[in-house]
Amino acid sequence: MSQSSKNLKLIYRKLKISDFKEFQKLFYLCFKRKISFKFYKWRYFNGDLSFCYGVFISNKLVANVGMVSKELSNNQREKVYSRHSS
């Protein structure tokens, strides 16, 4: 590991709705597509079983992973999770 990467202060935390601008920048860098605030809010803040965690250097979001729950259309009402990351 290089000396410069040892000195990085990484901050890991659950994203807030107010992190949208940083999320939007990272999403565009990774996928070259714009994401709307409406979609971000719906995808990661729409219920208890959907969430997104991020890694920050200072105030800049450099990585994220999100989990979105879906209920299967079967008699057992099973849930599955879809992982999204950038």
Q: What is the pLDDT of residues 11-55, one digit of tens each?
A: 999 999 999 999 999 999 999 999 999 999 988 888 777 889 999
Residue found under tokens 């729950």: 69
Please name the residues in contact with 65: beta carbons below 8 A apart, sequence gap of 6 or more: 52, 53, 83, 84, 85
pLDDT grade for 7, boundaries at 50, 70 and 90: low
User: From CA 85, how far away is CA 66, in angstroms rounded?
Assistant: 6
**pLDDT of res. 86:** 65
Position 67 pLDDT exceeds 80 = yes
Lowest mean pLDDT among 8-12, 20-24, 57-61, 76-80: 76-80
User: From CA 71, how far away is CA 86, in angstroms rounded?
Assistant: 24
